Structure 1
Amino acid sequence: MPIKDPDNIKWAVIFNLFIFAILGSLASYCYRILNGDKFRIGTLVAQIFISTFAGALVVLAASYFNWEFELAGGVAGLAGWSGATLIKALEERLIRKAKGDG
């Protein structure tokens, strides 16, 4: 049984949240380039994939918590910017909960 009615999903909103996540990813990568890192297409593609996954987690959280579009967009952009760092922090929190540490 689905959690939410799939007929009421606003695909334009979800698409826009993913765009924010990708823009955050590109902004983060450009910032690294400006700070002296060498441009590598493989690294850029990998960062976009990681940030898209982080954005997908934001879409799920936004749906669950009924966030307003502006809040969800901002969080999706930040998730895109932080990418793997956000995913690693969420993973560590999940592991602590699974172990019963908090």
Structure 2
Amino acid sequence: MNRPVDQSQVTVRLSAEDAADLQARVDRGEFASLDEGLAAELAELNYRRAAEIVGGSEKLEALLDELEAETIDPGECVDGRAFLSEMLADLKAQARAAGE
């Protein structure tokens, strides 16, 4: 189900209420176009998701500040694939131990 996205065209479906709200914001001049408004809304969604992942907007802003200041050494970062593989193995072991 994870097909590559064709970057030349993407279709997004909105409820009639959300589409009307977005159009009203464009009409008020908040956005120059529906495309710009949708892009801004998606960026906001991504920001909220990132904040949720790291434990709040304050922590996300601190992380972004560190990255911007380049105080994080990429060599100290964790290999995501290895980390997630280990975490999955631990969860499977816990499930087996619990008889699940």
Q: TM-score, normalised by structure 1?
A: 0.27
**Greater radius of gyration (CA):** 2
Q: TM-score, normalised by structure 2?
A: 0.27
